[in-house]
Amino acid sequence: MSRRGTRFVHVLLGRRSALVGLVLILLLTLASLLLPVLHGGDPLSGTDAAVFQGPSLAHPFGTDGLGRDLMLRVFYGGRFSLLIGFTSVLFSILIGLPLGAVAGYLGGWPDTALMRFVDFMLSFPSLLLAIVLTTVFGGASLHSLILSVGIVGIPQFARQMRAEVLSLKEREFVLAARSLGFSHFRILFRHLLPNAVGPITVLATLRVGTAILDAAGLSFLGLGVEVGVPEWGTMIKIGRDEMSRSIWTALFPGLALTGSVLGFNLFGDGLRDALDPKLKGVRS
Amino acid sequence: MSRPLLELKDLKVHYPIHGGVFLKRIGEVKAVDGVSLEIREGETLGLVGESGCGKTTLGKAVMRLLKITGGSILFRRKDGTVQDLARLSRGEMRPIRAEIQMIYQDPYSSLNPRWSVGDIVAEPLTVHEPELGLKERDDRVAWLLEKVGLTPEQAFRYPHEFSGGQRQRVGIARSLATRPRLLVADEPVSALDVSIQAQVINLMMDLQEEFGLTYLFIAHDLSVVEHISHRIAVMYLGNLVEYGPAGEVYRNPVHPYTKALLSAVPLPDPDLDRPERIRLEGEIPSPLNKPSGCPFRTRCPIAKPSCAEEVPALLEVSTDHFAACPLA
């Protein structure tokens, strides 16, 4: 690996907070992927005999009002929450990056038009915008949830990318590329984009956390995935209604949600530091 | 005398200033305001002036990196045809770009930090000579790196592993890749340590001799320009004020601005007799709102009321030596 690469890993793993973030993300992801398979139980049905149980050996997180195993449901639901987080951010990137890059590169009226539109989107509270969008896309379903959260995330990526391109395109290596007669395409994709990867990765990581939270918020309001799918937001909503009977039904999905958002934020902050060439091997 | 390789005729570059809610055009900066000069094959023309006088804009205009407001840029191609670069479209300009290249001021920003030095030097070849095989291209890159005083093994290293002087050498290798004939050097050494400046200047002079290169050498440091230039052009606020053979301009400056600039050049020996320092009063006026008539009259020690009437033309004061001051 190049010296730059080793420094990157060194700084990233040297930060305890980033390491904690990474571990949280990996634990939640692996558990969500593997636990439902290994456990073999059905997260969607339970037995009347085991309603509202506290944590025990048989049910480490306890059971809910229908006697379903909460641990199984939390990690099974994690699949949806994480899926929504990643795919919606991917969607935001796919739309936001080209928009921002083109706006910043071309300047002039395309820039003004695009950025005013982005300002327009940012002028709404993101959750409110997401609520409107979910309704437009036909209400509670996984697809409309991903799409809404994804669209809400576009402005941030467009802005960040535009800012990166604006500062990069004044650098002399871009001038050199232009004076050599390279195509716009080549300049954008081979010179500008690779230099913007760092900040965009940081934003994407932080944004996954926010997207999971947004999705959970929508589900909590009843605009999330189909009824019955144990997505974290839906589970917290159900748990809140049952709060007087048992605290566990809302606590564990809430903890999972907090853990994942915290994980992505800590890791994103660590990434930012590791990608900053001005910081040399600082430990925290 | 060799024939001109590049000839500028009344070149103008004005930047529009937009303001207000609807970005209406509210004025313009006359960065280059009617410059005519020629650069002959194999020579170095030193272009000097204070910051903001338009010398960098002029260089970029020659590279067609800016929108040209008026005038022409006549360039003699390899095949002998003369083309007006100011009138060419982006596509038509493309093949010519191989023949005109630029050396940049800041070696820390002129190399893409994500690319290895070998890739940086190879890219112009990939674009302009796509018929080259991989092996041939690598050989050319190795050869170019050697020509600028680096080793072929350094092709695998990244820009941040090099010093400023070495980076500037990489930039020069990239500029030479397409076998250009004209190089626009925009303050190529002003970002380097003094000890490194001489090395880069000497490298440029060696390369000029070996490849018959022609340089438009832009700088604000007169002592650097004196060493490398055959002829000198002095710019002030977007206009040429004096223009002639280097020795002539240095020994017998005519224009009051050139005199003032030369009197400010530090001499290495403090005991040496030096001409009295001419101190210019005030700031360089904004190119947004240029004085009428002679642009220099607001700071000129010998200005008369008549100077405000019209822009003075370049007059030949001695063979090949021009100055834009009727009073001098």
Q: What is the pLDDT of residues B211-233, one digit of tens each?
A: 999 999 999 878 888 889 999 99
Rounded mean pLDDT of B249-256? 92
Question: What's the pLDDT at B221?
Answer: 78
User: Is A164's pLDDT higher than 80?
Assistant: yes
A174, closest residue in chain B (CA to CA): B110
Q: Are A151 and A141 in contact (CB under 8 A)?
A: no
Inter-chain CB proximity A180 and B110 less than 8 Å: no
Structure tokens at B92: 């038509």
Q: Helices A16-39 and A3-14, interaxial angle, to 10°?
A: 80
Number of Cβ pairs < 8 A linking chain A and chain B: 58
| Chain B residues 127-156 with a CB less than 8 Å from chain A | 127-128
Q: How many CB atoms lie within 10 A of CB A201?
A: 15
Inter-chain CB proximity B128 and A181 less than 8 Å: yes
Question: What's the pLDDT at A281?
Answer: 46
DSSP code per residue over A146-206: HHHHHHHHHHHHHHHHHHHHHHHTTSHHHHHHHHTT--HHHIIIIIIHHHHHHHHHHHHHH
Q: Are B12 and B68 in contact (CB under 8 A)?
A: yes
User: Is A170's pLDDT higher than 70?
Assistant: yes
Please state, in angstroms and rounded to a whole number, the distance separating the CA atoms of residues A131 and B311.
Answer: 66
Question: What's the pLDDT at A179?
Answer: 92
Which of B104, B160, B174 lies at the smallest CB-CB distance from A175?
B104
Shortest Cα–Cα distance, A116 to chain B (Å): 13
Shortest Cα–Cα distance, B158 to chain A (Å): 9
Structure tokens at B269: 């020996």
Inter-chain CB proximity A191 and B112 less than 8 Å: yes
Shortest Cα–Cα distance, B48 to chain A (Å): 21
Name the one residue in this structure whose structure tokens are 């999905």. Answer: A253
High-pLDDT (> 70) share of chain B, %: 98
Shortest Cα–Cα distance, A176 to chain B (Å): 7
Size (chain B), residues: 328
- What structural domains does chain B harbor? 4-99+180-323 (3.40.50.300)
Inter-chain CB proximity A172 and B127 less than 8 Å: no
Question: Which of B85, B88, B90, B114 would you mutate first to test chain A, the one with the most A CBs within 10 A?
Answer: B114
Top pLDDT among B279 and A183 is at: A183
Question: What's the pLDDT at B1?
Answer: 53
Inter-chain CB proximity B98 and A181 less than 8 Å: yes
Query: Domain ranges in chain A?
Result: 67-262
* Beta pairing class for B214-219 and B24-40: unpaired
Chain B residues touching A172 at Cβ < 8 A: 104-106, 109-110
Q: Which of A24, A178, A118, A20 is closest to B127 using CA atoms?
A: A178
Q: Is B268 exposed, middle or buried (0-12, 13-18, 19+ CB in 10 A)?
A: exposed
Residue A247 CA, distance from chain mean position:
27
Q: Which of B32, B29, B28, B31 is closest to B8 using CA atoms?
A: B32
Shortest Cα–Cα distance, B318 to chain A (Å): 37
Rounded mean pLDDT of A5-27? 84
B59 has a chain A CB within 8 A of its CB: no
User: Is A246's pLDDT higher than 90?
Assistant: no
Inter-chain CB proximity B101 and A179 less than 8 Å: yes
Question: What's the pLDDT at B256?
Answer: 93
Residues contacting residue B199 through CB under 8 Å, at least 6 positions apart: B165
Mean pLDDT rounded to a whole number for chain A:
87
Class of domain A67-262 (CATH, top level): mainly alpha
A196, closest residue in chain B (CA to CA): B114
pLDDT in tens, B72-86: 999 999 998 999 999
**Which sign, positive or negative, has the C-alpha torsion A133, A135, A137, A143?**
positive
Question: What's the pLDDT at A243?
Answer: 85
pLDDT in tens, B173-208: 999 999 999 999 999 998 898 889 999 999 999 999
Mean pLDDT rounded to a whole number for chain B:
90
Rounded to two decimals, the pTM is 0.82
Name the one residue in this structure whose structure tokens are 């055959």. Answer: B230
Q: What confidence category does residue B282 fall into, taking pLDDT thresholds of 50, 70 and 90?
A: confident
B124, closest residue in chain A (CA to CA): A180
Please state, in angstroms and rounded to a whole number, the distance separating the CA atoms of residues B193 and B190.
Answer: 8
A240 has a chain B CB within 8 A of its CB: no
Which of B98, B112, B178 lies at the smallest CB-CB distance from A173?
B112
Q: What confidence category does residue A283 fall into, taking pLDDT thresholds of 50, 70 and 90?
A: very low
Question: What's the pLDDT at A284?
Answer: 42
User: Is A280's pLDDT higher than 60?
Assistant: no
B110 has a chain A CB within 8 A of its CB: yes
Q: What confidence category does residue A282 fall into, taking pLDDT thresholds of 50, 70 and 90?
A: very low
Chain B residues touching A4 at Cβ < 8 A: 158, 160
Question: What's the pLDDT at A65?
Answer: 81
Region of residue B54 (left: phi > 0; alpha: psi -120 to 50; beta: else): left
CA dihedral A141, A142, A145, A147 (to 10 degrees): -110
Most confidently predicted of A31-35, A135-139, B142-146, B324-328: B142-146
B162 has a chain A CB within 8 A of its CB: no
A54 has a chain B CB within 8 A of its CB: no
B105 has a chain A CB within 8 A of its CB: yes
Top pLDDT among A222 and B171 is at: B171
* SS3 of residue A282 by DSSP: coil
Please state, in angstroms and rounded to a whole number, the distance separating the CA atoms of residues A283 and A16.
Answer: 8
